[in-house]
Amino acid sequence: MNRQQVDRSLFDEVMVPNYAPGNMIPVRGEGSRVWDQEGREFVDLAGGIAVTVLGHVHPGLVGALVDQANKLWHLSNVLTNEPALKLAKTLCDLTFAERVFFANSGGEANEAAFKLARRYAWEKFGPEKNEIISFRNSFHGRTLFTVSVGGQPKYLEGFEPAPRGIGHANFNDLASVEALISERTCAIVVEPIQGEGGIVPATPEFLQGLRDLCDKHDALLVFDEVQSGVGRTGHLYAYEMYGVVPDILSTAKSLGGGFPIGAMLTTAEVAASLGVGTHGSTYGGNPLGCAVAQKVLDTVSQPEILKGVKARSDRLRAGMMDIGQRYGVFSEVRGFGLLLGAVLTESWQGRAKELLNAGIEEGVMVLIAGPNVIRLAPSLIIPESDVDEALLRFDRAVKKLCSQAAG
Ligand code: PLP
């Protein structure tokens, strides 16, 4: 098969049809720009869905990967390895955590978190204490346990029976949690900023209220920071910004900057419930992933990078609001740092995907979060000139849709 034949139509011939990828196939990236097979260039405000935290082909990450690739690729957890130990130490130094479990994705980090929450309660309080409370519209991954904890029933449809003992309350509504919580509750699981659910930040009072409810009922507070973590909000983790410390935190996506890795962070006391043989992963803590994530954390945790997020965020937010007002397309831009959601007005309801496609036509990649929100999650070091260029292109995309409607 020659290269020309590798096109979008091949997807339908050889891939399971669970995704609906766009027509263009990117082949190369650099910083916040991407090029497709035809050499067309795009500004990337999608960031691989909040993953390419330092852009594409970041020299430091390439260096870390190549360096480790020339040393040691894989051992399994029969033996430990230096990159995993160093990365775990860094995560403990930079956060509330005292213990780390490595996985390969956000879903797996959450799977470990939910299993640990149950196991801890089982050991400490007995088998009756097994219920998990999470939130409507939340998203925690695609394994059977994580889609069941997630609050979007469509992702569970046809996959039942689901694990039992899971209840869903309303996000930012403490009373609805109070109505569900009992001595049987082992954990409350929450995204500090609901990502897939539309970039909806929790209020500080809500997260503090959950902390208090967990303390009162001997339940663990689990923060899913798979999307909000690793500098995206301008803080290494969003919990720092809220001043509310969880017992367990899951992180992935940006942690590897594009290399698959996830991690579950917790305290020594809680971690003790995952004794030898209780849980595991062949690849978790793989030296290649850990070496790259080390470089990501060393870079992102620098104060000037985190400060730079704010400047870029302000620019992007103002530009999107401006477009929103000029074309009557957005009612607000919500979120923090470089995890932003531009919310469609009444007259644009349901048209987020159309806007995304129009953006591609004009050379800018954005994301959606449901049918009514344009989501932006670019590299934390996107040049400000790329932000401006992306906004110009997106402006053209919206204008075109407006003139098509008028014509
Ligand atoms: N948790 C949150 C908050 C997410 O946004 C996602 C992915 O979008 C996941 C978990 C699942 O992560 P992964 O796709 O790496 O399994």
Pocket lined around ligand 1, Cβ cut-off 6 Å: 105-107, 110, 139-141, 191, 195-196, 224, 226-227, 252
Using omega within 30 degrees of 0 as the cis cutoff, is the peptide bond preceding 192 cis? no
Question: Which residue CA neighbors atom 10 of ligand 1 most closely?
Answer: 140
- Specify the fold of 3-58+303-406: Aspartate Aminotransferase, domain 1 (3.90.1150)
Question: Which residue CA neighbors atom 5 of ligand 1 most closely?
Answer: 227
202: nearest Cα among 211, 113, 111, 350: 211
Strand partners, 343: 332, 373
375 vs 338: CA distance, rounded Å:
10
C-alpha 392 to ligand 1 mean position (Å): 30
Give residue 405's pLDDT: 79
pLDDT digits (tens, 9 = 90+) for 74-108: 999 999 999 999 999 999 999 999 999 999 999 99
C-alpha 338 to ligand 1 mean position (Å): 17
Report how far Cα 315 is from the mean position of its chain's Cα atoms.
22
Q: Please report, to the nearest 10 degrees, the dihedral formed by the alpha carbons of residues 245, 249, 252, 253 taken in order.
A: -40
Pocket test for ligand 1, best of 152, 227, 228, 251 (most atoms within 8 A of CB): 227
| Runs of H (alpha helix) within 170-302 | 174-178, 204-216, 238-242, 268-271, 287-300
Tokens of 267: 């305290």
C-alpha 286 to ligand 1 mean position (Å): 20
Q: What number is the average pLDDT over the span 305-328?
A: 97
Q: How confident is the model at residue 300 (pLDDT cuts 50, 70, 90)?
A: very high
pLDDT digits (tens, 9 = 90+) for 343-361: 999 999 999 999 999 999 9
Q: Does residue 5 register a pLDDT over 90?
A: no
50: nearest Cα among 251, 321, 312: 251
267 vs 69: CA distance, rounded Å:
32
Ligand 1 atom closest to the CA of 108, numbered from 1: 16
Tokens of 142: 């695609």
Ligand 1 atom closest to the CA of 141, numbered from 1: 11
C-alpha 370 to ligand 1 mean position (Å): 15
C-alpha 150 to ligand 1 mean position (Å): 10
C-alpha 388 to ligand 1 mean position (Å): 29
Ligand 1 atom closest to the CA of 262, numbered from 1: 15
Compute the chain's Rg from CA coordinates.
21
The DSSP annotation for 15-68 comes to S-TT----S--EEEEEBTEEEETT--EEEESSHHHHT-TT-BT-HHHHHHHHHH
User: Considering the domain 72-300 in this protein, what is its CATH number?
Assistant: 3.40.640.10
132 vs 129: CA distance, rounded Å:
9
**Percent of the chain, pLDDT > 90?**
98
Ligand 1 atom closest to the CA of 143, numbered from 1: 16
Q: Tell me what the pLDDT averaged over the chain comes to.
A: 97
Domain ranges of the chain: 3-58+303-406, 72-300
